[in-house]
Structure 1
Amino acid sequence: MNNYQTYTDQQLLDSLKLNEEKAFTAIYNRYWEQLYRSAYRKLTDKAAAKEIVHDVLIDIWKRRESLSVNHLPAYLEKAIRFRVINYINRNKSSHFLDVFQTILYSPFEADSQVNMQEFLKLLDAWIAALPEKRRQIFVKYYFENLSAREIASELDISAKTVQNNLSITTQQLKAWLTQLMVIMMVVSGSSHFKA
């Protein structure tokens, strides 16, 4: 009888491709708590964090035969980040990341680990390049889930200033994402011609 708890991540992934449910259970048990803590830190909502982790892990089972993962913990963390961003997007009145959502389901296969990693690096770089105050407001609103009033109080500025900064930054992000999507679709299209 196999002791899946002693398997490496790669052995578990290989077993998963052979439809071994116990390998999936071992992955679930090994990473559930770590992923839950990661999602909860970003959302501070227990139910939403649990749902996101469940969805990410179930998705691995559903795509087990075609899944190509080099480093499971990093892959899972990136998947959690994508789901958290989508959750925040769905639950904010603003249309933050509408274009981002389009990118996720576009023809160049956003579930590819390379595309996910590269896209997140670009997004992180874009956020890091924002002016200090605007970056603080953006991160606090979209990633720490604070309201405009809470941010205004924390940064000792008016709520109107917070809203204006959010509006400007969100418009810039949408424009940047639109350009990025066009570039990635062009690159994706040209790679199909070479094949």
Structure 2
Amino acid sequence: MKEIELRLLEQIKRGNEMAFVQVYDKYWKLLFNSGYKRLQKREIVEGLVQEVFVEMWQKRKSLEIHTSLNSYLYTAMKYKVINQMKSQMVKEKYVAFVTSKKLSFGSEVEENIFYNELNDAYKKEVSSLPDQARKVYKLKKYQDLSYAEIAQEMQISVSTVEKHMIKALKILRNNLRNYSMSLGVLCLLNSGVF
């Protein structure tokens, strides 16, 4: 590893945010480009890049890099992309399965009840997000503001907006996971598989 990278890494381990910002500024575009080549979805790739940096910051005290900072970050991004691709493949297979079987969830009344329950759960989870994360999420989701516009509106930095958005999405994914699993089980039950 280059001497300058070693110094930056040591400063990051000690919690020096400016050193972290230097690394972020230097490698963000490289990581974004490598992810975009494979996924071709800007928002998803931006989120994955942010996850790489957030995890790096969270693990900074125990961070051990034996090659180079570039290799470490590139490899971390590569695994994020692979996991995203696996997740997307599962979703696509599920959609193909549902389409091929022309599944019905039951009567229209049952479908409406399930949709309303899911929608209520989603609204409840959004409203229970931490204040800043909830505000960022709502400005992005409902007003379609860019991260820069949100940062200006809330008078915080763009990186802080990104951190709040990552936090909000992670909480929503985890807390609504049971509903998506229930939907899958319901589809399989109605298909006659079980």
Q: TM above 0.5, one fold?
A: no
The TM-score normalised by the length of structure 2 is 0.44
The TM-score normalised by the length of structure 1 is 0.44
The structure with the larger Rg is 2
Which of the pair is proportionally richer in helix? 2
